[in-house]
Amino acid sequence: MSPKLSIVVPAYNEAARLGKSLQTILSYLNQTRKPSELIVVDDGSEDETASVAEENLADAGSVAARVIHYEKNRGKGYAARVGLLAAAANIALFSDADLSTPITETPKLIKPISDGECDLTFGSRALDRSLIGVHQPWRREQGGRVFNLIVRVATALPFWDTQCGFKAFRMNVCRPLLEAAQIDRFGFDVELIYLAHLARLRLREIPVRWDHSAGGPLDASGNYSRDSLRMINEVRRIRRQVDRGAYSEAISAARTAAMVEQKHLRPASSVF
């Protein structure tokens, strides 16, 4: 039976905590008893991420599970796109490997899509900060707020948190945007949401639970100023590419797919 939901987990040097996360996701998916798929994308890790993933997916129960691996590190955006474009289900969600947003928050993002209300949904830490249990270091949290303000000014997007690593897609509508996306690292979330906005897709920012999990690759870098500058430069690059018409064909294709979808769509039975 074809899966109703695909979950994609991009991972880079996550061997230390990936096993626990995958067991948590598999337990959740098997308990739902709905056809589902779990894809781990090893983004050219230098540790044992790939072998940890394969070991933990070896007994996945009723879940179709697999690991996609490539040798060179390309960035979280690239890894997320590879996994999403490989997804077999028409509704696909990507989650950070550390499960900062618990996988049990999945229905919040999936239901508006399966009910025919949205094409792309994304978790937000900004809409209800009472849902944040463990905060990021103060400097990174404030940097995130400033970055999202810059995004709003640069793109006119009406959203407050584009960076939370928990997003879901109606794939037959969003696929052209994923295929055309060019940002491989920090700014890929902004790129996808901005292109979806330009395509007039139905977007929804949804408050989710969130707990900062220390010890990931970003924490290891420790260079918040450098990371922030890279993100700002990528937003500038996205705007330049939009102005040059680099995404025009993909935006048109997504808009057409959305119009066809909305014309014929009937709310699906609950996925999760």
The answer to whether 123 touches 93, Cβ cutoff 8 Å, is no
Residue 218 has pLDDT above 70, yes or no: no
Asked if pLDDT for residue 189 goes beyond 70, the answer is yes
More confident residue, 169 or 267: 169
The residue ranges of every structural domain in the chain are 5-264
At 82 the pLDDT is 98
pLDDT value for 219? 52
Tokens 């890929």 — which residue? Answer: 188
Alpha carbon of 129 to those of 56, 64, 120, 218, 224: distances in Å? Answer: 33, 35, 22, 22, 22
Q: HSE on the CB side for 114, CA within 13 Å?
A: 17
Report the relative pairing of strands 36-43 and 120-124 from DSSP bridges.
Answer: unpaired
pLDDT of residue 195: 98
Question: What are the φ and ψ backbone dihedral angles of 73, each rounded to 5 degrees?
Answer: -65, 125
Per the model's pLDDT, the better-predicted residue between 264 and 59 turns out to be: 59
d(CA 255, CA 191): 16
Longest dimension (CA), the chain: 49
Which residue carries 């977007």 as its tokens?
203
> Considering the chain, what is the average pLDDT of its residues?
92
pLDDT above 60 for 217: no
CATH topology of domain 5-264: Spore Coat Polysaccharide Biosynthesis Protein SpsA; Chain A (3.90.550)
Find out whether 130 and 238 touch, Cβ atoms under 8 Å.
no
pLDDT at residue 214 is higher than 80: no
CB under 8 A, 24+ apart: contacts of 125-132: 125/161, 125/164, 125/207, 125/208, 125/210, 126/160, 126/161, 127/160, 127/161, 127/205, 127/206, 127/207, 128/207, 131/207, 131/208, 131/209, 131/210, 132/209, 132/210, 132/211
Q: Report residue 1's pLDDT band, with 50, 70 and 90 as the boundaries.
A: confident
pLDDT at 266: 62
According to the model, what pLDDT value does residue 34 have?
Answer: 92
